[in-house]
Chain A
Amino acid sequence: MTEDEVVAQLESSMTIGIGGWGSRRKPMSLVRAIARSDLRDLTIVSYGGPDIGILCATGKVRRAVYGFVSLDSIPLEPHFRQARQQGTIEFTELDEGAFYLGLLAAAHRMPFYPTRAGLGSDMLTMNPELRTVASPYPDADGEMEEFVAIPALRLDVSLIHMNRADKGGNGQFLGPDLYFDDLFAKAADRTFMSCEKVVPTESLLDEGTFHTLKIPRLFVDGVVEAPRGAHFTECPPDYERDEAFQREYAATARDPEAWAAFADRFVNAPSHAEYLKRVDQRTAERAAEGATP
Chain B
Amino acid sequence: MSAVTGPATLDEICAVAIAETFRGDGEILCNPIGTTPIIGGRLARATFEPDMVMTDTVAFLAANTLPVGDPDAERLIEAWMPYRDIFDLLWSGRRHVVMGASQIDASGNQNLAAIGDWRRPKAQLLGLRGAPGNLVNHVTSYWVPNHSTRTFVPAVDVVSGPGYDRVAGLSATVRANHEVRRVVSNLGVFDFANDERRMQVVSVHPGVTLDQVVEATGFQLVVGDTVDETRLPTDDELRLIREVIDPRGLRRAEFGG
Q: Are A97 and B91 in contact (CB under 8 A)?
A: yes
Residues of B within 8 A of A66 (CB): 127
State A21–B123 Cα separation when bound (angstroms).
22
Q: Are B128 and A115 in contact (CB under 8 A)?
A: no
Tell whether A122 pairs with B121 under 8 Å between CB atoms, given A68-B128, A100-B84, A180-B84.
no
Does residue B3 face the partner (Cβ distance < 8 Å to A)? no
Q: Are B136 and A120 in contact (CB under 8 A)?
A: yes
A contact face: mostly helix, strand, loop, or mixed = loop
Q: Contact partner of A95 among B118, B119, B126, B128, CB < 8 A? A: B128
State A68–B132 Cα separation when bound (angstroms).
12
Report which residue of A81, A119, A123 has the largest number of chain B beta carbons within 10 angstroms of its beta carbon: A119
Q: Are B171 and A145 in contact (CB under 8 A)?
A: yes
Please give the number of chain B residues whose Cβ is less than 8 angstroms from any Cβ of chain A in the complex: 45
State A68–B172 Cα separation when bound (angstroms).
29
Kindly supply a per-residue 1/0 record for chain B positions 154-170, scoring 1 wherever the CB is within 8 Å of any chain A CB and 0 otherwise: 00001111100011001
Does residue B1 face the partner (Cβ distance < 8 Å to A)? no
Does residue A98 face the partner (Cβ distance < 8 Å to B)? yes
Does residue A184 face the partner (Cβ distance < 8 Å to B)? no
B130 to chain A minimum Cβ distance, whole angstroms, is 5
Kindly supply a per-residue 1/0 record for chain A positions 18-54, scoring 1 wherever the CB is within 8 Å of any chain B CB and 0 otherwise: 0001000000000000000000000000001000000
Residues of B within 8 A of A80 (CB): 124
User: Closest chain A residue to B100 by CB distance?
Assistant: A75
Q: Are B120 and A121 in contact (CB under 8 A)?
A: no
Residues of B within 8 A of A67 (CB): 127-130
List chain A positions with a Cβ less than 8 A from chain B: 21, 48, 66-70, 75-76, 80-81, 84-87, 93-98, 100, 115-123, 125-126, 139-141, 143, 145-146, 176-180
23 contacting pairs across A/B (C-beta < 8 A): A67-B128, A70-B126, A81-B123, A84-B120, A85-B121, A87-B119, A96-B130, A116-B136, A116-B137, A116-B173, A117-B133, A119-B132, A119-B136, A120-B162, A121-B135, A121-B159, A121-B162, A139-B172, A143-B172, A145-B173, A177-B58, A177-B59, A178-B82
